[in-house]
Amino acid sequence: LPTHPRDPAHGLRAAVKLDDGDWQTVDFATIGRSDQWRQNVLTNTAIATLPLKSFAAGHHRVAIVPLDPGLTLDRIELVLDGARPLYAPMPETAR
C-alpha cells in the first residue's frame, strides 16, 4: 500500500527470495509528493519488480521479510513471461 517511511532513518524495504535463491531487496519508499507517490495513491498500489531466472514448472516458495517498520503488504503477484493474464485477485463473493 502506498505510504511514506516512518522517519528519515528508515525506508520501506523488504527482502524477497524465491525458493533457495539469493535474497533481493526492494524499496517502496517515495520522496515527498513525487509523481511516483501520486500514481501510487491513485492506484492504491506501490509496485516493485524483481527479475527472476527461469524455473521449472511446479511448486515454489516465495519468502518476504520486512526490513523497515511500517511496511504493509496487501498482495503479491507473480507475472510470468508469456503467461495469459489470469493472475488477479479472486472476485468477491456474497453470502
Minimum mean pLDDT among 18-22, 39-43, 72-76, 82-86: which range? 82-86
DSSP string, the chain: -----SSTT---EEEEEETTS--EEEE----TT-HHHHHHHHHT------------SS---EEEEE-STT----------TT--S---PPPP---
**Choice between 84 and 25, residue whose per-residue pLDDT is larger:** 25
- pLDDT of 13-70, one tens digit each? 999 998 888 999 998 888 888 898 888 888 888 888 888 777 787 888 888 999 988 8
